[in-house]
Amino acid sequence: MTPDGPSPAGPAVWVVVPAYNESRTIVESLRDLQRQGFRRIVVVDDGSTDGSGALAASAGARVVRHVLNRGLGGALGTGIRAAAELGAEVIVTFDADGQHAAEDVPRVVAPVLSGSADLVIGIRTLGREAMPWTRRAANLAANMATRLIFGVWCSDSQSGIRAMSRRVATALDLQGQRMEVSSEILHKAARLGLRTQEVSVRAIYTTYSLSKGQGVLTGLRTLARLILLRLSEKLS
C-alpha cells in the first residue's frame, strides 16, 4: 500500500464520497479508507451545515462543496466529474455514514481493475442479520421496483458502494438528483450493455447509519421519482 492507493503502478483509483451533514462519521470513514491505502478521495460536501466539508479536508480528502444541497444523485455527478478531472481511471463510490467497511473496497475494485467487469455493485449481504426487518423489506421493495420499472435486477439496488471505470462513469450521464440515482445507474448500465457484477460486502448497521438511509417515506418518494423518471424517458 502506498499513499496514492493500493496499486500505484496501475490505474489511478479515486474514491468519491458524497456527504450531507455527516460530521459524526466522515472522519472515521475517510481514515478507514486511508488505512486501506486509498488516499485519492474526493468528498462532495452537499451543502452541509455541520462542518462536514472542513472535517473531510482536515482528514486529507479533496473537498468540493455544493453551495446548496442537491441530493445524492447531484453529489455523485459532481464527485465523478471532479475525480475525472483529477485523473481518475477507476472511480469508487462510498457512503460517508459509516455503513460500509473500507476493507471491502479492494474486492469491489478488483473486477474493474482486471477488466472482467465494467460496473461492480457491493451487495450488502454480510452482516445482514443486524439489519432490521423493515429495512430488509424496504430494500427488497426497492429491488422489485427497479426490476418492474427498469427491467433490471440487482440483489441490492440501493447500495452506495460501487466501482466503475472513468469511461463508464462518464457514459452513465446521471440525471437523477436524489436517491433514485442508484436504480438509474443499474438501468443505464443495462441499456449501455455494460458488464455488471455483484460482490458481497459487509453492512455496518448502527442507529446512525440507519437514520441516514432510506426510510419508508423517503423510499416512497424515491419510488415516485423512479416512476416519473421512467415516464419522462418514455414520453420524451
Residues that bind other proteins (CB under 8 A): 44, 53-54, 56-57, 62-68, 70, 73-74, 77-78, 81-82, 85, 175, 177, 228, 231-232
Residue nearer to other proteins on the CB measure, 79 or 122: 79
Instruction: Supply the minimum distance, in Å, between the C-beta of residue 38 and other proteins.
Output: 17
Residue nearer to other proteins on the CB measure, 107 or 178: 178
Q: What is the DSSP letter of 210?
A: H
Q: CB 132: neighbour CB atoms within 10 A?
A: 10
Contacts of 133 (CB under 8 A, 6+ apart): none
Positive or negative torsion for Cα 74, 60, 123, 129: negative
Cell of residue 131, nine digits: 439489519
Instruction: Supply the minimum distance, in Å, between the C-beta of residue 235 and other proteins.
Output: 8
- The secondary structure element, H or E, covering residue 73 is helix 71-85
Instruction: Supply the minimum distance, in Å, between the C-beta of residue 73 and other proteins.
Output: 8
Q: CB 143: neighbour CB atoms within 10 A?
A: 19
Instruction: Supply the minimum distance, in Å, between the C-beta of residue 208 and other proteins.
Output: 24
**Rg, the chain, Cα only:** 16
Cell of residue 189, nine digits: 448500465
Instruction: Supply the minimum distance, in Å, between the C-beta of residue 112 and other proteins.
Output: 24
Question: ∠ CA(73), CA(74), CA(76), 5° rounding?
Answer: 65
Residue nearer to other proteins on the CB measure, 87 or 132: 87
Residue nearer to other proteins on the CB measure, 81 or 107: 81
Residue nearer to other proteins on the CB measure, 194 or 223: 223
Q: How far apart are CA 128 and CA 224, in angstroms?
A: 27
Instruction: Supply the minimum distance, in Å, between the C-beta of residue 152 and other proteins.
Output: 21
Residue nearer to other proteins on the CB measure, 5 or 53: 53
Query: Diameter of the chain by CA atoms?
Result: 50
